[in-house]
Structure 1
Amino acid sequence: MRPVVIASCLLLLAPITDSWWASGSAVILDPRMVCKKNRRGRGRLAQICRNETGLLKEISRGVTLGATECAHQFRHRRWNCTTQRRSMRKILMRDTRETGFVNAITAAGVAFAITRACTAGSLLECSCEKGIPKSRRGRQPILPPSPVPTDRWQWGGCSDNVRFGLKKSREFMDSRYRKRSDIKTLIKLHNHNAGRLAIKNNMKVECKCHGVSGSCTLRTCWWRMPTFREVGDILRDRFEGAAKVIASNDGDNFLPESTSIKPPGKKDIIYSEESPDFCNPNIKTGSLGTQGRQCNITSAGTDSCDQLCCRRGYAQATVKETENCKCEFKWCCEVLCKTCYVKREIQTCK
């Protein structure tokens, strides 16, 4: 597991105060470092740190999962969710929509990894849900199409225990902030929950047919999480429509910045600060700039040379690459290929 990836997102697990940042970044390298500061304390976070070491491993996997998905979703944008530690730290000290996405995808990653571990039976604290999932009792599920028409089905198999994953994600990521009500904390907790809801609200039913000669006289169905790529796609869409908010007069809530904007729902990503343009390096904002980034001259999207290079122009070069070619099947059973050199034009931002 790469420490730099964990470092980037575990910033979310520590209070954002000037004194904390001045104390150094050692605490963000691993959840166990967070636990060293909380093991002797009280509350659920301290209990997890003392008694649930297996859970900490899944939390680390979840943080890495979130960081990897963030890099995938933003790979063609000016801000590409870099794992460069100093840059990410500056991003997370602010309250932009990028910060909101990182908070959401990390909380989702932790919940997803824990739930997956429950289903796999690799955590002592939990297991999959057998029979009727508690979250679906009294509610008629939407079943996938059956290969053979049938109305007979029953809950069975091993449903994902998403309730446990969501609960543990809340306990580990939110408990340190529950007693605070400043606008940054309210937004952080909201975006954590939005990330988890991207899993909870998009659970699916999977079924298996039973019967003689594929007759499918009965279907056994279970409850399954969406893939994490689907979760990332959902949260990227939430990022695109993120709502800017301000603190309310009571100090315990937030409001849309403009009265003409619809109040954000629980599943929406929110923020309170405008993002930098990320065109040029800036130590204060954490922007690394886009100089040297490869762009796409034929694209009209965020990876176009016009957009990615911030209209500074681009340099074009020819690179030589290798690929397999002239492949032949040799009986039996081998495929033999030659190595060919091909030239490719690339564009990089000035």
Structure 2
Amino acid sequence: MEMRPVLVAICLLLVTPITGSFWTVGSQLVMDPMLVCKKTRRLKGKLADICRKEPSLLKEIAKGVQVGTRECQYQFRNRRWNCTTVRRSLKKILLRDTRETGFVNAITAAGVTYAVTRACTMGDLVECSCDKMTSKGNRLAKFARTVEAKKSLPTEGDWEWGGCGDNVNFGFKKSREFMDAPYRKRSDIKTLVKLHNNDAGRLAVRNFMRTECKCHGLSGSCTVRTCWRKMPPFREVGNRLKESFDGAAKVIPSNDGHSFITEGPTIKPPGRFDLIYSEDSPDFCKPNRKTGSLGTTGRQCNSTSPGVEGCELLCCGRGYDTRIVKEKVNCQCRFRWCCEVTCNTCLVKKTVNTCR
């Protein structure tokens, strides 16, 4: 399936203020990520600068949206809501303020941070480069104060900062400028929740950087090590945000009108890494145009699993149909010297269960 048009739609939905008139125009902007800039001529501030002066950065941002979407679909592949990119569903999800909305915002902000940072390291952006930290640099002093940094710093032997680390601060900054700029002057509950979840996604990348080192010395000895900072694999970012999704806290507006509090007095106030929401999620069992639910009819399930991917839960108690399908697989593989593997093609039967 061609993903690019719907991913562009996600990008547009995430960076444009939620207004009734936007959805009329935004539904047509599905062919080019640059349209987020071309169709919004009254842009101001940092977002306008990116649109008008940094087209290469805009391309990396679009890649980041794809990174986030693929990870979202992986994390929710076995759940009733499977992070579908079908526009009639996703648009409704993003209009609401559920757990699912929070995860989409967080993983997309993380994906943009990740893609822009990686582009800096690879030299694909003229606006930035890799992060060349030094033992006397201010960046090191600031970084070393974080808890995760102290856990990952080398504890044995002599070492020094060097090499070409990931410039995550640049990626963090550009993700915030592009995704948060349209909402900075608003203080309604949906905006506060969105900005919080965006930051939680970015922090899942920046605050979990790891240290990598290379040895220097004669005959393979490790007299001195040069170390640099590297982003975690994005799968780890997705896993971390998925855990936050499972433990997300429901919030309500506070009396001052500029912040939020948890719905119940016994609920622990959310931290910067936690995801939050203000609306309960639908059950996603049946199609519902109002909520964006596509239902689970036709989804494949696992009849032997008691978990969320099991037929009982995924099919919402409606039952499931079973059929036997045949598929071609490689079999009877042989290794031939040197260096070739030859296989036969076999037909195997596979049981497929689908929700009614």
TM-score (norm 2): 0.93
SS of the residue corresponding to residue 23 of structure 1 reads helix
Q: Is the 8 A contact 1:150 1:218 kept in 2?
A: no
Q: Which amino acid aligns with 1:135?
A: R
Q: Is the 8 A contact 1:9 1:67 kept in 2?
A: no
- The match for 2:107 is 105
SS at match of 2:348: strand
Q: Aligned residue for 2:217? A: 211
Q: Which string of whole-angstrom CA distances, capped at 9 and with x for unpartnered residues, describes residues 301-320 of structure 1?
A: 21011110111111111111
What residue in structure 1 maps to residue 188 of structure 2? 182
Let me know the Cα RMSD of the aligned residues. 1.8
2:75 counterpart letter in structure 1: Q
Instruction: Assess, with a 3 A threshold, how the Cα gap between structure 1 residues 110 and 145 changes in structure 2: closer, same or farther.
Output: closer
Counterpart residue identity of residue 71, structure 2 = E
State the distance in 2 between where 1:343 and 1:21 align.
46
Amino acid at match of 1:257: E
Aligned to 1:307: 313
Deviation, 1:329, is 2.1
Alignment partner for residue 166 of structure 1, among 157, 166, 172? Answer: 172
Distance 1:245 1:111 in 2: 26
Note if contact 1:144-1:206 (Cα within 8 Å) is conserved in structure 2. Answer: no
1:137 aligns with 2:141: yes
Instruction: State the distance in 2 between where 1:27 and 1:321 align.
Output: 39
- Show the counterpart of 1:236: 242
1:43 aligns with 2:48: no
Shift of 1:5: 2.4
Partners in 1 of 2:17 and 2:253 — Cα distance? 19
Q: Distance in 1 between matches of 2:318 and 2:151?
A: 52
Deviation, 1:145, is 9.4
Pairwise CA distance, 1:48: 1.1
Q: How far does residue 41 in structure 1 lie from its aligned partner after superposition?
A: 3.8
Deviations 1:305-348 (A, max 9, x none): 11101111111111111111111222333222111111111111
Query: Which secondary structure does the structure 1 equivalent of 2:97 belong to?
Result: coil
Does the aligned pair in 2 maintain the 1:128–1:158 contact within 8 Å? yes
Residues in 1 aligned to 2:280 and 2:287: alpha-carbon distance in whole angstroms:
17
After TM superposition, list the pairs within 5 Å mapping 1:66-81 onto structure 2.
66-81=68-83
User: Residue 61 of structure 1 aligns with which residue?
Assistant: 63
Counterpart check, 1:260 vs 2:266: yes
Q: Which amino acid in 2 is paired with 1:16?
A: I
Matches of 2:139 and 2:271 in 1, distance apart?
21
* Residues 176-185 or 38-47, more deviating: 38-47
| Alignment check: 8 A CA contact 2:61 2:116 kept | yes
> What is the alpha-carbon distance in structure 2 between the residues aligned to residue 29 and residue 62 of structure 1?
17
CA deviation string 1:256-297 (max 9, x = no partner): 000010111111110000000000111111100001100011
**4+ residue segments displaced more than 3 Å:** 27-31, 37-41, 140-146
Residues 1:56 and 1:145: Cα distance change in structure 2 (over 3 Å): closer
- How far apart are residue 130 of structure 1 and its match? 1.0
Give matches, 1:312-331, under 5 Å: 312-331=318-337
- Deviation, 1:66, is 0.7
User: For the Cα contact (< 8 Å) 1:69–1:232, is it kept in 2?
Assistant: yes
Structure 2 CA distance for partners of 1:32 and 1:292, relative to 1, 3 Å: same
Identity of aligned residues (%): 63
The residue aligned with 2:27 is: 25
Q: What SS is found at the alignment partner of 2:62?
A: helix
- The letter of the residue matching 2:109 is A
Range 231-240 or range 6-15, more displaced: 6-15
Structure 2 stretches lacking a partner, 5+ long: none
Deviation at 1:38, TM superposition (A): 4.0
- Is contact 1:150-1:217 (8 Å) kept? no
Q: Residue 131 of structure 2 contacts residue 164 of structure 2 at CA under 8 Å; is this kept in 1?
A: yes
| Local SS of the residue matching 2:274 | coil
* Partner SS state of residue 83, structure 2: coil
> Within 2, Cα distance between the matches of 1:166 and 1:316?
47
Question: What is the CA–CA distance in structure 2 between the aligned matches of 1:99 and 1:144, rounded to whole Å?
Answer: 32
User: Corresponding residue for 1:156?
Assistant: 162
CA distance in 2, matches of 1:318, 1:41: 55
Match of 2:10 in 1: 8
Q: Deviations over 1:3-52 (max 9, x none)?
A: 12232343111111222223341246544112124455431111111111
Shift of 1:144: 5.9
Alignment of 1:269-280 (within 5 A): 269-280=275-286
Compared with structure 1, are the counterparts of its residues 135 and 311 closer, same or farther at alpha carbon in structure 2 (3 Å cutoff)?
farther
CA deviation map 1:50-100 (0-9, x unaligned): 111110000000011111111111000000000101110010000000000
